[in-house]
A and B are shown apart, each in its own frame.
Chain A
Amino acid sequence: QSALTQPPSASGSPGQSVTISCTGTSSDVGIYNYVSWYQQHPGKAPKLMIYDVTRRPSGVPDRFSGSKSGNTASLTVSGLQAEDEADYYCSSYAGGNNLVFGGGTKVTVL
Chain B
Amino acid sequence: QVQLQESGPGLVKPSETLSLICTVSGYSIGSGYYWGWIRQPPGKGLEWIGNIHHTGVTDYNPSLKSRVTILVDRSENQFSLNVMSVTAADTAVYYCAKVRADRTMIDYFDPWGQGTLVTVSS
Contacts and interface: CB of A to CB of B under 8 A. Distances in A.
Interface of A: 1, 3, 32, 34, 36, 38, 44-48, 51-52, 57, 89, 91, 93, 97-104
6 contacts: A34-B106, A36-B109, A48-B110, A99-B48, A99-B106, A101-B48
B33 interface: no
Contacts of B121: none
B110 A57 contact: yes
Given A45-B112, A47-B112, A98-B59, A89 B106 contact: no
Interface string B52-89: 00000001011100000000000000000000000000
Interface of B: 38, 45-48, 59, 61-63, 95, 100, 103, 105-115
Contacts of A1: 62-63
A37 B91 CA distance: 24
B95 A45 contact: yes
Contacts of B112: 45-47
Contact of A45 (B45, B48, B105, B115): B115
Contacts of B38: 46
Nearest 6 pairs of A and B residues by beta carbon:
A97-B59, A48-B110, A45-B112, A36-B108, A51-B108, A101-B46
Contacts of B46: 38, 46, 89, 91, 101, 104
Contacts of B106: 34, 93, 97-99
